[in-house]
Chain A
Amino acid sequence: MMQAPAPSSFAGISDLIAVLVLLSAFAMFRAQLLRSQVRLYAGQSVLVGILTGFLAATHHIAELYVFGAISIILKVVIVPSVIIRFLDRSETNLSSSTSMGIASMTLIAIGVAVVGLFTMDSIHFESTALPTTALAISVATVLVAFLLAIFRSDVVSQAIGFLSMENGVSVASLVVASGIPLVIDIAFLFDLLVAAIVFGLMMRVHHARAKTLSTELLDRLKG
């Protein structure tokens, strides 16, 4: 029986970083303290930045260095500091609330991640940049981030879920669209910045009105 060739060191390192991005999404899922979630998001963004730099170095794509640097400044420095500052000013409970037990949510997240992995594996993408296993892992990251926004009942966790989803999308774009023009990448990052600012504004509005970060009180409007 013919054995599949062992992956190259490049593929191994890329997949390792992608798996760490997925594991950080699970860690965010598991973290109870909001500050921990924000730090995990910053760490996840660092991993995406490292992956971007690694791809730029191995494939000699100079534009990715610029994209990676701007991405790190935005996602590691600016956005987490804005959220941490908001948490400092809000004198409320700083641990998140959940709609289900942690074990149940984690099991569902594992199931969803597996579905994402196998679904993307069945679709034949060709990539000259990163290995296509990283694409499957990035889609699993997106799905787990969705669950973070669904199951958490506080505004900060839901916002972190959205931002983590964007990190998963970034990894996917590195796999299949690494050559996308820098202008478009910058436009996406700028849009992310604007969305993060609006998220911050709405978190402040919610906290000012409800005196809490919980979204369990958002049940007056029932469609």
Chain B
Amino acid sequence: MQIAMIGLATAGLVAAIAAWLFPERPSKFVTIGGGAVSLVLAVSLISKVSDAGHASVGTLLYLDPLSLVFLIPTCFLYLATAIFSAGYVRPLAGRAGVRYARHFYAGLNLFCWAMIAALIVNGLALVWVAIEITTVVSVLLVAIDNNDGAAEAAWKYLLIASLGLGIGLIATIFIYAAGSHALGSSYSLSFNLLLANATKFPAQVVRLAFVLAVIGYGTKVGFFPVHTWLPDAHSGVGLALRISSVCQLLCDTAILPDNRKDRRQRISPRCPAYIRLG
């Protein structure tokens, strides 16, 4: 189980490095291989996570049934996108084409790796870092076609998504502040700690963090009314991103206010990250 999780956490990164070093043709197979390995490893974890309730590797990786629900479609779309792009992406001949293929396949693998990482890391702060990585990589992928539309779409996407993730960072900090009531002034934002002590968190601060997280991460997702970058990113980019598969990672807030009779707040273990790549 631990080997499978470590494999999941590294497959995309290894594929990205290999795609950067190898020529175009081997890079296609490396990308498909990365997607296939990720999917197989994710499926292999189903029974183990279902039986044990969660899977973890030290304090760094954590997987529960809900995140597995998002992980499997993500890995499937990683594989599907890799297979589709192998036949669809036809870079020009010459050095420009070589550079295009290298950037595209390395960026695709890195993007998928970051999405998978956002789903299996153990901590809200690490989730934020992983989603920020997906933002910077996907911006470069949006701009890869080097035309006016791609440049415009990339700038709009970068600015709006970065500002949204800034709000998401504030939400993470406020969750940390809420947790410090129960866990002390210095603790890691790991999910198992948060889940175990959620009822002791102050309700008002948790609600504020939830609202900020919905707005912040919702900007990345493309929720209305902070969705304005999405149509441009989908329409203004060239062939690199006109691929039929769409990878969706939802980064929920991990906190849901639960107005039960006893008015206690409860953490819902919604750790997966939600990003749209068109």
Is B205 an interface residue when CB atoms closer than 8 A count as contact?
A: yes
What residues of chain B lie closer than 8 Å to A124, measured between beta carbons?
202, 204-205
Question: Once the chains bind, are B143 and A199 in contact (CB under 8 Å)?
Answer: no
From A128, A184, A195, A209, give the contact of B125 (CB < 8 A): A184
Is B197 an interface residue when CB atoms closer than 8 A count as contact?
A: no
Is A45 an interface residue when CB atoms closer than 8 A count as contact?
A: no
Listed residue (B140, B143, B156, B163) with the most chain A CB atoms within 10 angstroms of its CB: B163
Question: Once the chains bind, are B188 and A169 in contact (CB under 8 Å)?
Answer: no
Is A12 an interface residue when CB atoms closer than 8 A count as contact?
A: no
Question: Once the chains bind, are B189 and A158 in contact (CB under 8 Å)?
Answer: no
Complex CA gap A124/B203 in Å reads 10
From A129, A169, A205, give the contact of B169 (CB < 8 A): A169
Question: Once the chains bind, are B149 and A169 in contact (CB under 8 Å)?
Answer: no
Question: Once the chains bind, are B155 and A221 in contact (CB under 8 Å)?
Answer: no
Is B264 an interface residue when CB atoms closer than 8 A count as contact?
A: no
**Interface mask (B155-168 → A, CB under 8 Å = 1, otherwise 0):** 11011001100100
Is B274 an interface residue when CB atoms closer than 8 A count as contact?
A: no
Residue of A nearest to B231 (CB): A223
From B126, B166, B187, give the contact of A165 (CB < 8 A): B166
Residue of B nearest to A138 (CB): B170
Interface size of A as a range: 35 or more
Contacts between the two chains (Cβ within 8 Å), count: 126
Question: Once the chains bind, are A201 and B132 in contact (CB under 8 Å)?
Answer: no
The stretch of A34-42, A65-73, A96-104, A172-180 in contact with B is: A172-180
What residues of chain B lie closer than 8 Å to A180, measured between beta carbons?
125, 173, 176, 186
Complex CA gap A215/B236 in Å reads 16
Interface size of B as a range: 35 or more
Question: Once the chains bind, are A209 and B148 in contact (CB under 8 Å)?
Answer: yes
Residue of A nearest to B232 (CB): A221
What residues of chain B lie closer than 8 Å to A166, measured between beta carbons?
166, 169
What residues of chain A lie closer than 8 Å to B129, measured between beta carbons?
187-188, 191
Question: Once the chains bind, are B163 and A194 in contact (CB under 8 Å)?
Answer: no
Query: What's the nearest-Cβ distance from chain A to residue B227, in Å?
Result: 9
Query: What's the nearest-Cβ distance from chain A to residue B188, in Å?
Result: 6
From B139, B158, B185, give the contact of A128 (CB < 8 A): B185
Q: List 29 A-B contacts (CB under 8 A).
A: A125-B177, A125-B205, A127-B177, A128-B185, A129-B185, A139-B170, A142-B166, A162-B166, A169-B166, A169-B169, A169-B173, A172-B173, A176-B174, A176-B176, A179-B184, A180-B125, A187-B126, A188-B128, A195-B132, A198-B136, A198-B140, A202-B143, A202-B154, A202-B155, A205-B143, A205-B154, A220-B149, A221-B149, A223-B232
Closest 8 CB pairs of A and B: A223-B231, A179-B185, A179-B186, A176-B177, A221-B232, A177-B176, A221-B236, A184-B125
A interface residue numbers (CB < 8 A to B): 123-129, 139, 142, 146, 149, 155, 158-159, 161-162, 165-166, 169, 172-173, 176-181, 184, 187-188, 191, 194-195, 198-199, 201-202, 205-206, 209-210, 215, 218, 220-223
B interface residue numbers (CB < 8 A to A): 123, 125-126, 128-129, 132-133, 135-136, 139-140, 143, 146, 148-149, 151-156, 158-159, 162-163, 166, 169-170, 173-174, 176-177, 180-181, 184-189, 202, 204-205, 208, 228, 231-232, 235-236
